Amino acid sequence: MSQITEPIDTAHDRIKLPFTFDVEKMKEEVSQFKLEEFIYYNVVPLRAPAHTVDTTLPPPPPAEDYADGSWTEWMDTKELISSPYLLSIVDMFREKTKVTLVRILRLASGQMVNEHTDPTLGLQIHKSVIRLTIPIISNENTEFFLNGSIVPMQPGECWYLRLTDPHKVLNRSSGDRINMTIDMIPNEWVQQQILENDK
């Protein structure tokens, strides 16, 4: 007997937030990083666990739950500190809530991120963080699929995506796809931004 699976409720899985950022400033600052050649997927940390940024610090003790980022202190990396505009974006959010992990994500031309889920990155998950995505370099040949359909993210926009759902990325363009992602505690202010723009 075949197993019956419930269809995924795709309502509210992608929400464009009312923030836009200067793409040229972002591209200029990212281009000044010492970006190494890479074949498939590359991550540049901008904010990370403190002991990985300053290796003189001891690692935190093991935690029962890592989902909300409270297991460690977080620290800006030298790349973020040396990038005034990217730093101003992070500061805008951490004036309102706790920001944990911040990264620049690069996907090489002709590559894909296979479909997967991130079990703790959803507003509906108790005591967790959410991830906001800001595309920096993207075009019609780079596609982000969430629950089987394309999310029409444009450079400089800011999106909340329910990443507990299946998602994948295809880069059919001739250059790198580059995004900035910002993880944060979904406090009342963050939830308000998401709910007010859920159309």
Q: Residues 139-167, buried b or exposed e (16+ Cβ, 10 A)?
A: eeebbbbbbeeebebebbbbbbbbbbbeb
Per-residue pLDDT tens over the stretch 169-197: 999 999 999 999 999 999 999 999 999 99
**pLDDT at position 9:** 59
Mean pLDDT of all residues in the chain?
A: 93
Per-residue pLDDT tens over the stretch 144-171: 999 999 999 999 999 999 999 999 999 9
**pLDDT at position 39:** 80
CATH topology of domain 42-53+67-196: Jelly Rolls (2.60.120)
In whole angstroms, what is the distance from residue 108 CA to residue 15 CA?
A: 26
Per-residue pLDDT tens over the stretch 108-121: 999 999 999 999 99
User: Is-contact 47 100, C-beta < 8 A?
Assistant: yes
In whole angstroms, what is the distance from residue 49 CA to residue 53 CA?
A: 7
In whole angstroms, what is the distance from residue 17 CA to residue 71 CA?
A: 28
**pLDDT at position 61:** 94
Burial class (CB in 10 A: 0-12, 13-18, 19+), 89: buried
Share of the chain above pLDDT 70, in %: 95
Per-residue pLDDT tens over the stretch 33-47: 988 878 899 999 999
Angle formed by the axes of helices 23-31 and 84-94, to 10°?
A: 120
Cα dihedral 61, 64, 65, 70, rounded to 10, equals -30
Rounded to an integer, the average pLDDT of 98-111 is 96
